[in-house]
Amino acid sequence: MVKNRVGDEAILKGEEITLSFGGISALMGVNFSVKKGEVFSIIGPNGAGKSSLYNVINGFYHPQRGRVIFKGQEITHMKPYEIARLGIARSFQNIELFKHMSVLENMMLGRHIHIKYGLFSSMLYFGPGRKEEVIHRKRVEDIIDFLEIEHIRKKQVGTLSYGLQKRVEMARALCLEPEILLLDEPMAGMNLEETEDMCRFIVDVNTEWGMTVLLIEHDMGVVMDMSDRLMVLDFGESIAEGTPEEVQKNEKVATAYLGDSDGVFLGR
């Protein structure tokens, strides 16, 4: 499979992002730059600030200092739904699906920002409302086929295995048709087969759909294989950014993960 061409310009940037809760600092002057079309991973020990950074990017948290820029536009203080409309979607470390609803219903909810028909048309289900419903349903069915979840499309989400629920959450994020997809530990809790499937889907989203992917993941083998570049956070600070090869040789990264700088990161 040919790797999607990575652009030269940044599609997403963070500048001096600082976030604290009371006297606890979650992020301290974090800078990063993500190029269009790349897989950019954010790694670090537990509590390093990875999910907090995601929450800043998609508007759940607003930093005390610094800014986030998407395609040249500052989005630092926008609301989550406004950022989603611009083209940034995410999955969550802890599954955030409506478990009493079916897979199909959860995915159709992911189309909400694209729905243009009004209340009257939707209630009567005719004319423009019906035509638009067909278009949205077609897009959802395409994603179902892509992620190979046809067999569970009508099942209640709460009855599915953890690995399938993670796949459905990714499906719902894709229903927003984002330019950037933020994945927060998409392989957590999966067995080997489920992990391999999820890796394949992420690579295909990036290469076939040209989607920029931000990835938080603790499986370093996966991260090093899939990433074009990555950033390492430690206690809320960015201590390294570069290609997997560059980060593997970084002594600060070895210290953060292993407790010392003797040897090469992941090379022991």
Q: What is the pLDDT of residue 119?
A: 43
Question: With contact defined as beta carbons under 8 Å apart, do 215 and 123 qualify?
Answer: no
Q: What is the pLDDT of residue 260?
A: 55
Taking the C-alpha atoms of residue 197 and residue 186, their distance in angstroms, rounded to an integer, is: 11
Taking the C-alpha atoms of residue 38 and residue 87, their distance in angstroms, rounded to an integer, is: 16
Domain ranges in the chain are: 1-87+178-268, 99-176
Taking the C-alpha atoms of residue 128 and residue 134, their distance in angstroms, rounded to an integer, is: 10
pLDDT digits (tens, 9 = 90+) for 106-153: 888 877 666 655 544 444 455 555 666 677 788 899 999 999 999 999
Strand, coil or helix: 168: helix
Which residues face 241 on adjacent strands? 231
H helices of 47-182, in order, are 50-57, 80-86, 103-109, 119-124, 127-146, 162-174
Q: What is the pLDDT of residue 47?
A: 87
* Radius of gyration of the chain, Cα coordinates, nearest whole angstrom: 19
List, edge to edge, every strand of the sheet that includes 73-74.
24-35, 10-21, 65-70, 73-74
Which residues face 70 on adjacent strands? 12, 73
CA distances from 23 to 9, 55, 65, 126 (A): 36, 19, 15, 56
pLDDT by residue for the chain (268 residues), tens only, comes to 445 567 678 999 999 999 999 889 999 999 999 999 999 999 998 889 999 999 999 999 999 999 999 999 999 999 999 999 999 999 886 677 888 999 998 888 877 666 655 544 444 455 555 666 677 788 899 999 999 999 999 999 999 988 899 899 999 999 989 999 999 999 888 888 999 999 999 999 999 999 999 999 988 889 999 999 999 999 999 999 999 999 988 888 888 775 554 544 454 3
Question: With contact defined as beta carbons under 8 Å apart, do 182 and 87 qualify?
Answer: no
Element at 202 (helix H, strand E): helix 192-208
Which residues face 182 on adjacent strands? 90, 214
Enter the DSSP assignment of 252: H
pTM score, whole prediction: 0.85
What's the one-letter identity of residue 143?
I
- The CATH H-level superfamily of 1-87+178-268 is P-loop containing nucleotide triphosphate hydrolases (3.40.50.300)
